[in-house]
Amino acid sequence: MYSKVEKNYFINIMLAIIGFACMFTGVALAFKPAFLMTILSTIKFKSLHEWTGYVLIILIGWHILMHSEWIKSVTEKIVNDKKKLVAAVLTILLSVGICITISTLSPEMKAPNGKGGYPGQVGKSN
């Protein structure tokens, strides 16, 4: 059978390939670069973006479960060191702050009918 290191290697390969596919299609959806649109129009890249996102949720959860003992061990060490604990709390706050800032400052996408929403939500509004 496969060792824990080998299993981790395989899941990391999956995370990298599927993660890059999700990131690439997300950038393509946002900026619609002309030189890529002819290629991307031959595939359902919006669906690819959405489904790779769903698969990433599963893979990241699996990855975290595989590393749960390591996470527990490092967390105990950080909690017992005040400077490291402050750094961890600041990292969490910064991460949440970035997410809130992005969601607050990002322009709202308009559906083809001009109403709020995402492309494909014709007739629906937020």
User: Where in the chain are the domains?
Assistant: 1-66, 69-126
Burial class (CB in 10 A: 0-12, 13-18, 19+), 32: exposed
Confirm if 117 and 125 have CB atoms less than 8 A apart: yes
**β-pair partners for 116:** 110
Q: Which two tokens stand for residue 5?
A: 């290191």
Hey, which bits of 5-126 come out as E strands? none
At 73 the pLDDT is 97
At 32 the pLDDT is 82
At 36 the pLDDT is 77
User: Rounded CA gap, 91 and 122, in Å?
Assistant: 39
At 117 the pLDDT is 54
At 112 the pLDDT is 57
Q: Which two tokens stand for residue 51?
A: 């489904």
Q: Which two tokens stand for residue 31?
A: 């900026």
Confirm if 43 and 6 have CB atoms less than 8 A apart: no
Which residue do the tokens 């939500």 mark? 121
- What are the per-10-residue average pLDDT scores of the chain (126 residues)? 93 96 89 79 85 97 95 97 97 97 81 54 47
At 122 the pLDDT is 47
